[in-house]
Amino acid sequence: MAGVDGRDQSRETVTVRYWAGARAAAGTAEDSFEVDGDVTLADLVARVLERHPDDRMARTVAVCSVLVGDRPVRSQDPATVAVAPGSVVELLPPFAGG
């Protein structure tokens, strides 16, 4: 459905927040991605890597813990984790110290 400005108002977004080394690799604290309904975490990570294509980001994302909302993903297969529109996904690299 088009809004007053002519843009498609039916699309929603998923926000990805980057922490520590992920923030440094992305060069930003967060990104928003337009989605048409649920997407998988694997699809979302692929989109993150398309937006930030350098090797540093790929290496960082590979070691990140992930939260979808307040739910830790842990060892689940990212292809089976649904991310709903409006969700916030947190990419948390390992932190040093205690």
CA gyration radius for the chain?
A: 14
8 Å CB contact between 68 and 41: yes
CA-CA-CA-CA torsion for 73, 74, 78, 82, nearest 10 degrees? -20
Position 2 scores a pLDDT of 46
pTM: 0.85
Alpha helix positions (H), 1-98: 21-26, 41-51, 55-63
In a structure prediction context, what are the per-residue pLDDT tens digits for the chain, which is 98 residues long?
A: 444 545 555 679 999 999 999 999 999 999 999 999 999 999 999 999 999 998 999 999 999 999 999 999 988 999 999 999 999 999 999 976 65
* Torsions phi, psi for 44 (to 5 deg): -65, -45
Give the architecture (CATH level 2) of 12-92: Roll (3.10)
DSSP summary character for residue 79: G
Domain boundary assignment for the chain: 12-92
